[in-house]
A and B are shown apart, each in its own frame.
Chain A
Amino acid sequence: MTDEPKDVQGAADERAELGDSEIVEARQLAEEAVEETVLPDESALAGLTGTPGIAKPDPILVADGVSRAFGGLKAVDVGHLEVQRGTITSLIGPNGAGKTTLFNVLTGFDRADSGTWSFDGRPAAGLAAHKMARRGMVRTFQLTKALTRLTVLENMKLAAVGQRGENFFNALVPPLWRPQEGGLEKRALELLDRFKLAHMRDSFAGELSGGQRKLLEMARALMVGPSMVMLDEPMAGVNPALTQSLLGHVRALRDEGMTVLFVEHDMDVVMGISDWVVCMAQGQVIAEGPPEQIRSNRTVIDAYLGTRYDEPGAKE
């Protein structure tokens, strides 16, 4: 997508919006999150070497021959890719590598030109976006999508599945759906509490700072009860303290048994947190493997060097 220039602006805005107290708070959060973290069970992926397309012991997502072209440009051309269940897998690659496009295709937001993929053992190619989410694969967006004129709590409650009141006829008879609302609200508030947004519950989402919106989007995704969370650059344009806090939340998702696939173009951010790293360049998976291996992988370094995104602190 051609939203990149806007992103730079967004990043600056979001940094500007964060007050000092917020940064301190985020830092504390991050520290807590780090302390709580259980060491990842790497045994599942232990001993695997980093050949692109390598099979995993228990993949939740398996993609084959997925391609998507825009005009003459092959934005995505992935031969074979598996994502191990219950891990944090990072999808890295320089800007324009096709990470977002791959996300869009896999989550049903864009159609593939060719290829098949399965999620949780069932074929998922060509499935509509909302059906993909219902199956348990829930995504967030590179440009945060807060539902601005809904309150924070409404944002959360909206996301819950199986709401009787979403049926038109039931909606007209409040006694049919009111009883469900209490439960939803309780769950929503628990999540908001965890993401330090509970005090904002009655504010419009549009009144949140950039960082808070990122947190809300993640919390909202969890309301769906996903088995796999797909995060598109959750750290983009966020100050370092909040980045740590977000990383803490990502770890927590895995520790609760969810699979996380998250996109990040900054290699350094993902190294500490990932169980597995997949690197894309020019639409293809050029390398995958454990983080230490990827860091020193020649192909990966070349891909980053080739596009001059290696400079420390380089952002989109």
Chain B
Amino acid sequence: MIQKRLHANRVLGGVDLTVRYRPERPPVLDGQTIDVPIGRVTMLIGPNGSGKSTLLKTLSRQIAAERGVVILDGRDIATLSAREVALSLGILFQENQAPHDLTVEELVCHGRYPHRRLFDPLTAEDRFAVEQALTLCGAGPLRDRPISQISSGQKQLAWIAMLLAQSPHYLFLDEPTTYLDLPHQFDVMNLVRHLNRELGCTIVITMHDLNLAARFGDHIVALHQGRIVAAGAPEEVLTTATLRTVFDIESRLFRDEQTGSLHCVPINRIPAAGGRPR
């Protein structure tokens, strides 16, 4: 059940992570060390192909690091079973698939998988977690709709609901707002904030929208070509200099009076010839 999390003994981080998809290619992550702040919302930013998804997958044991270790709650993640990981960490991928007639409620029920053993029926506790997840995501009215017949925004909420039914402490979301319109982006981000502030979840999100990242992130990690270039509070990471290195863009940054958060106005791309090699 989703409850206020206690943070004692929680640690999540990777030390000296090197990840390679193909032996003949240079590593996608090259000896990177990352510490995920517990009880915070961490935003991973970086251009396409910079290794954001790869980092999330490595930290969640989806792919094994060639070198380095991932520590989850004090244990080397490689020594944990898939189920043990799933009980404390849930991940939503950039792309998802499901049978086209699967309903939202059935999908969310699948989130209870790690809590059930071979013969366990859905218990009252499972049902309760499912209902709570549907309610939190505002997906209750969609419960009987087939997943193939709802909008991308609603789909995203349904998948997040599945993740919540899993009720992990750590939530990884890979580009949860990418295909969504503004109201749905805020739905998702407000939900993230709620899960973090009220329920104490530790959340890591990859994101291309720097303004959303600055507004909803407590901690920002910037990746560039498989390297962590900067990590820290939004005002430490979101600087014109960093954005120049990471994204090759010229930008202006200012603090919005009303929200109090940083905003980035991208001005132009730095011409490739004047930029860095490769």
B and A form one assembly: no
- B residues with CB within 8 A of A: none
